Amino acid sequence: MDLEKLPVYQVIPPSELQEQDYLHAAHPSPPFESSTDRQARGTSQFRKTIRDVALGFLIATAFWTIPKATRVSWPSARRCMGRFFGHGHHHHHHHNHHHHHNHGHHHNQNLFPSGKEIGYQGPTETGVEPFVAVTADVPPEQKSYFPLVSPAQSSHDAFDPVRSWGYLSPFHSLPSNAFGLEGSSGKVPNQCELTQVHLLHRHGARYPTSSKEPAGFATRLKAAGNYKASGNLEFLNSWSYGLGKEVLTPFGRSQLFNLGVGFRQKYGHLLNKIAHPKAKLVFRTTSQHRMLHSALNFAAGFFGLPFKSQYHQSIVIEAPGFNNTLAPYFTCNNSEHASKTFVKTIMSNWSEIYLAEALPRLQANLTGYQLTFEDVVSMQKVNIVIFYFERFRLGID
């Protein structure tokens, strides 16, 4: 018989046979294997299988019977055993199917499994929905700026500069008579029933617009070159503008998250009025990054984690040419240009009035740069920037 014409085996001299030739052969048995060798190999494989089964049983029993000591769930134990015996398992596949060699890492080897995979979460039943807006003796109020720190005051009067920044002030509750409604209260009257709540709000605290102030003041100051600041303005000698552009700040994210928590705490009971068990609330927002992430942070606070499956998020494009009732400024193009309105003239006249004494006082602490009223207005915004972002970096009191 001509061995070279055999369709099954390749003729290889015994002296050239190596271990890898057996491992990567296309057939389960090595070439030229005698019946005695085949029987010995089968006995060895049987003993190895018995050993693996016994050892696997012991490990599984340990993970199953003492979970509190190991803190490992059954799926984790199964993965552990898979890794323990993985080498032999892959060895087997390499022996039979050489093309599996490049796909051996497709198995789940996540070193940080999720809480759902780990298990052992304990009781997870939630309580009844709160209704603090109705049940509390005193309506809840937002007063804290945490973790922001209010600037030091020279006097102990009731004036709070942080609350006097207009739209730049952090969110806080107003007294019930703020709009001239003397004797009013935020508490629902006893003869009334609260049935609905509607919320329309802006985004949280954000980084400034990159093309406007106070970035413009920082650019002009840098272009001046050799200037020297002293006194209360000494920090300008080492100050550089390094803020982001228009997205939410960390404090802004916390504002919306806390707003969501507060709304659930005050009005959560109204969720019981949703008739259909599969019905979900719909939140609307615009496509700008800070707007969308304000809505997402609110939802995270309102629903808790995970939150995306618990409601519907409607996102309306905010750009010219789109009908967006949440961004109505596109309906009046002139509103974006102060020069085309009376606003620029009014603001310029007013800044020259209320900053008439401040400008020369500040100029006395700054040489090499001539301040304008526009600069001083921007410096007020720089002070707010320091309050929000840079107080701890600069060490300013």
DSSP state of 284: E
The pLDDT, as a whole number, for residue 147 is 82
The band of 11, judged by pLDDT with boundaries at 50, 70 and 90, is very low
Alpha helices in the chain (DSSP H): 19-23, 35-65, 67-70, 74-84, 86-96, 115-118, 132-135, 215-224, 250-267, 289-303, 343-354, 358-363, 373-385, 391-394
**Residue 53 shares a structural domain with residue 146:** no
The band of 107, judged by pLDDT with boundaries at 50, 70 and 90, is low
> What confidence tens digit (pLDDT) does each residue in 20-31 have?
443 444 444 444
The pLDDT, as a whole number, for residue 394 is 41
Q: Is residue 9, in this structure, part of any structural domain at all?
A: no
Q: Is residue 119, in this structure, part of any structural domain at all?
A: no
More confident residue, 1 or 168: 168
The pLDDT, as a whole number, for residue 21 is 43
pLDDT value at 258 more than 50: yes
The pLDDT, as a whole number, for residue 83 is 58
pLDDT value at 86 more than 60: no
pLDDT value at 9 more than 50: no
Q: What element of type H or E holds 163?
A: none
**Residue 88 shares a structural domain with residue 137:** no
Q: Token pair for residue 164?
A: 């006097």
Q: Is residue 164, in this structure, part of any structural domain at all?
A: no
**Residue 389 shares a structural domain with residue 321:** yes
Distance from C-alpha of 4 to C-alpha of 27, rounded to nearest angstrom: 17
More confident residue, 221 or 264: 264
pLDDT value at 13 more than 60: no
Distance from C-alpha of 65 to C-alpha of 394, rounded to nearest angstrom: 57
Q: Is residue 324, in this structure, part of any structural domain at all?
A: yes
Q: Token pair for residue 169?
A: 């002030």
Say whether 286 sits in a helix, a strand or coil: strand
Q: Which of 325, 374, 328 shows the shortest CA–CA distance to 350?
A: 374
The band of 10, judged by pLDDT with boundaries at 50, 70 and 90, is very low
Q: What is the largest CA-CA distance in the chain?
A: 115
Q: Which of 275, 281, 308, 268 shows the shortest CA–CA distance to 292?
A: 308
Can you tell me the mean pLDDT for 117-125?
92
Domain-terminating residue out of 80, 100, 120: 100
Phi-psi region of 284 (alpha: psi -120 to 50; beta: other; left: phi over 0): beta
Min mean pLDDT across 6-20, 63-77, 96-110 is at 6-20
Q: Token pair for residue 20?
A: 């890898």
**Residue 316 shares a structural domain with residue 380:** yes
Q: Is residue 178, in this structure, part of any structural domain at all?
A: no
- Quote the mean pLDDT of the chain: 77
More confident residue, 240 or 32: 240
* pTM of the complete model: 0.67
**Residue 61 shares a structural domain with residue 147:** no
Distance from C-alpha of 188 to C-alpha of 136, rounded to nearest angstrom: 10
**Residue 266 shares a structural domain with residue 358:** yes
pLDDT value at 73 more than 60: no
Can you tell me the mean pLDDT for 165-177?
83
Q: How many domains does the chain have?
A: 2
pLDDT value at 380 more than 50: yes
More confident residue, 88 or 65: 65
More confident residue, 386 or 104: 386
Distance from C-alpha of 356 to C-alpha of 363, rounded to nearest angstrom: 12
The pLDDT, as a whole number, for residue 35 is 57
pLDDT value at 89 more than 60: no
pLDDT value at 200 more than 70: yes
The enclosing domain of 331 has a CATH number of 3.40.50.1240
**Residue 87 shares a structural domain with residue 215:** no
**Residue 92 shares a structural domain with residue 214:** no
**Residue 265 shares a structural domain with residue 224:** yes
Can you tell me the mean pLDDT for 140-147?
83
Name residue 315's beta-bridge partners.
Answer: 285
Q: Is residue 388, in this structure, part of any structural domain at all?
A: yes
Q: Is residue 179, in this structure, part of any structural domain at all?
A: no
Q: Token pair for residue 252?
A: 């802004």
The band of 123, judged by pLDDT with boundaries at 50, 70 and 90, is very high
The pLDDT, as a whole number, for residue 85 is 55
Q: Which of 80, 135, 70 shows the shortest CA–CA distance to 110?
A: 80
| Phi, then psi, of 258 in degrees rounded to 5 | -65, -35
| Domain, as residue range, for 281 | 132-151+209-394
The band of 40, judged by pLDDT with boundaries at 50, 70 and 90, is low
**Residue 233 shares a structural domain with residue 290:** yes
Distance from C-alpha of 251 to C-alpha of 341, rounded to nearest angstrom: 34
Distance from C-alpha of 310 to C-alpha of 299, rounded to nearest angstrom: 9
Distance from C-alpha of 385 to C-alpha of 214, rounded to nearest angstrom: 8
Q: Is residue 171, in this structure, part of any structural domain at all?
A: no
**Residue 239 shares a structural domain with residue 327:** yes
The pLDDT, as a whole number, for residue 238 is 85
> What confidence tens digit (pLDDT) does each residue in 308-347 have?
999 999 999 999 888 898 988 887 777 667 666 667 677 7
**Residue 218 shares a structural domain with residue 264:** yes
Can you tell me the mean pLDDT for 124-141?
88
Q: Which residue has the tokens 């799926």?
A: 75
Is 248:257 a contact under the CB 8 Å cutoff?
Answer: no
